[in-house]
């Protein structure tokens, strides 16, 4: 019995030493694709976190804008109410109306303080553009991750089926996804 086990061991060892070098290259390809996949997922998560951070900051900016608008509307109502009083021509009432109108003007446009509604809206639009750019980067990373996952599957299947065309397809898709990830990381896309 031990003699048959020794022959079987020698047969297995012989097959291992004469294994197909192509399968080893596919294994290396899969490991490289997996490494690029991991890096692409890290980039995607970073882009997703940046998107969420910028989205919260943008929401805060628009909330500040709305607060200014609400104060302006309240003061506009105050002006309308004071103007409708029987003693609207009284100097004290006129002074309050003027103060409210100045306040309304400052709420709408404050170039010195850079915090008028006009300035807040302009800043919010800039922030929206930045946020949207980060969102597009995140989606590009997601496409790269998907392509890398498909490339890994194709490479793995190519070993089982011995179809080298699948290996070349996996390498091509993986290379394109890797280049895409690099372009995303360098903000070229």
- What pLDDT does 20 receive? 78
Q: pLDDT tens digits for 122-159?
A: 999 999 999 999 999 999 999 999 999 999 999 999 99
Kindly state whether residue 9 falls inside one of the protein's structural domains: no
Average pLDDT, integer, range 12-28: 73
Q: Tell me the average pLDDT across 56-65.
A: 96
Alpha-helical segments (H) within the chain:
2-17, 21-83, 91-108, 117-161, 164-185
- Does residue 35 form part of some domain? yes
85 pLDDT above the threshold of 80? yes
Task: Read off the pLDDT of each residue in 158-164 and give the average, rounded to a whole number.
Answer: 92
Counted domains in the chain: 1
186: CB partners within 8 A, 6+ apart:
none
Domain that holds residue 61: 19-185
Nearest to 26 by CA among 141, 144, 161: 161
pLDDT of the residue at 35: 95
* pLDDT computed for residue 10 by the predictor: 58
76 burial (CB, 10 Å; 0-12 / 13-18 / 19+) is middle
Cβ burial 107-137 (10 Å sphere, 16+ → b, else e)? beebeeeebbbbbbeebbeebeeebeebbeb
* Token pair recorded at residue 96: 């309050």
Q: What is the pLDDT of residue 112?
A: 86
Q: Rounded distance, CA 41 to CA 138, Å?
A: 10
Q: Is residue 2 part of a domain?
A: no
Q: What is the mean pLDDT of residues 62-66?
A: 95
**Dihedral sign for Cα atoms in the order 16, 21, 27, 31:** positive
Looking at per-residue pLDDT, the higher value among 111 and 131 belongs to: 131
Q: State the pLDDT at residue 8.
A: 57
Query: Which one, of 65, 45, 43, 58, lies nearest residue 132 by Cα?
Result: 58
DSSP 8-state class, residue 128: H
Q: Looking at the domain assignment, is residue 5 inside a domain?
A: no
Quickly state the pLDDT bin for 61 (edges 50, 70, 90).
Answer: very high
pLDDT at 7: 59
Assess whether pLDDT exceeds 70 at residue 9. Answer: no
pLDDT of residue 21: 87
Q: Is residue 95 in a domain? A: yes
Per the domain annotation, does 118 fall within a domain?
Answer: yes
């Amino acid at each position: 019995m031990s003699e048959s086990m020794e022959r079987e061991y020698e047969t297995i060892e012989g097959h291992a030493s004469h294994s197909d070098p192509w399968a080893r290259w596919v294994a290396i390809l899969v490991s490289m694709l997996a490494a690029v996949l991991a890096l692409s997922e890290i980039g995607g998560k970073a882009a997703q976190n940046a998107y969420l951070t910028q989205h919260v900051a943008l929401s805060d900016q628009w909330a500040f804008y709305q607060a200014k608008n609400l104060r302006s509307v309240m003061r506009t109502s105050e002006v309308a109410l004071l103007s409708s009083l029987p003693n609207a021509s009284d100097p004290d009432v006129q002074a309050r109306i003027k103060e409210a109108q100045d306040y309304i003007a400052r709420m709408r446009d404050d170039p010195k303080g850079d915090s008028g509604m006009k300035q807040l809206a302009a800043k919010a639009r800039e922030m929206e553009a930045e946020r949207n750019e980060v969102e597009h980067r995140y989606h590009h990373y997601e496409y790269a991750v998907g392509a890398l996952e498909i490339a890994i599957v194709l490479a793995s299947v190519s070993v089982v089926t011995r179809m080298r065309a699948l290996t070349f397809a996996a390498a091509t898709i993986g290379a394109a996804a890797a280049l895409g990830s690099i372009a995303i990381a360098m903000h070229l896309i």
